[in-house]
Structure 1
């Protein structure tokens, strides 16, 4: 497939309602498959049983990233320094996103210890949602 053709496909997919729906679907797939793989692993499932959910989790991430950037992963840049944006609103998003990701871990631990699948879904939603919100606050892109 030519580069020009792939760029037009990317532009169509990442714009409008179709792109938003696909991004939401990729995010939900990531949360669902992550939740399932953690649940299975915590309940003694074999590596072979858990691996397909790992593949789906990463596949959903790469799909969402492709919809946002037109690439599966970020291109490397010379400057990888972390700096907070000048806007107070964007700084708040970065801090809220990071806080949500941090909160996800103890929530997930409590969920696994208590055998609560719904709480595990909340934990993974906090993590993936926090990642998207924080990344947007820092880069103006959700991935």
Structure 2
């Protein structure tokens, strides 16, 4: 019976990882993004998604929310999806950041022994687009 439960679990978690087009790691967890280069207008905010994909050995582990570390002045707000504990919505703000290309490291930790493989994202900060007003409005 344990053999069938193990096979079913492998199929279920393998299907979830494939459905998101992310490969599950052999151990621990790995952080994925749909886009690894994100464009942000200066003085505006942009949102994007991050996923924590778990190995079958880490499916019950507890992980902290991802942290984004940048020395460029970009600021990040990470919100966990209420319906999926492994999905995060990140809001990035480029207020007072000069235009250019910046890299940011994404990492997370486990409260136990499981390791998390982070990733690096690239942010392309572009000049703010002026909104034309009609008749001085």
TM-score by length of 2: 0.34
Task: Pick the structure with more strand per residue.
Answer: 2
Higher relative contact order, structure no. (Cα contacts within 8 Å, ≥ 6 residues apart): 2
Task: Pick the structure with more helix per residue.
Answer: 1
